[in-house]
Amino acid sequence: LLRGVLGARAAELAERVGVAAGARIVVATALVRDGRVLAAQRTRPAALAGRWELPGGSVETGESEDAAVARELREELGADVVACGRLGTDLPIDAGLLRVHLARLRPGSAEPAALEHAAVRWVDAAGLATLDWVDADRAVLPDLCAVLGT
């Protein structure tokens, strides 16, 4: 919306000011393989425990979003992934802004494991609707469905 009203340059500046003012960027990762995406079940906080998310976390100061995606998935899943573009639009969350990135496993990566989640599961387009997603992630499901195909 900002972009439409103010133009791309102004929106970019507003975004930087927002970041400078402390708006936190959280990356979420749609790790896709063979028409399936990796869903992960949260263990914390209590309000989100048991609900499913696209794995990720806060971008650190000075870190690129692609680097944050790779770091978070190494920490949380023990997997070696490469980010390969954005999916959907920025989603407002309590913590700041959630940005979804597409990613693929690097050849030779270990199979993703639930090191910090209750469980992980590869789901196809039809399976997306069967999981109890956290609210923000639910908004990206139509875009994800299109990426996974039917």
Contact residues toward ligand 523 (CB under 6 A) are: 26, 28, 53-54, 56-58, 93-95, 98, 134, 136-137
CB of 53 to ligand 523, least distance (A): 4
Residue 44 sits at the vertex; the CA angle it makes with 40 and 46, to the nearest 5 degrees, is 125
> Is the Cβ of residue 40 or residue 105 nearer to ligand 523 in the bound state?
40
Distance CA 136, CA 26 (A): 11
> Is the Cβ of residue 49 or residue 110 nearer to ligand 523 in the bound state?
49
Q: Which two tokens stand for residue 70?
A: 């790779």
CB of 6 to ligand 523, least distance (A): 27
> Is the Cβ of residue 84 or residue 134 nearer to ligand 523 in the bound state?
134
88: left (phi > 0), else alpha (psi -120 to 50), else beta? left
CB of 54 to ligand 523, least distance (A): 4
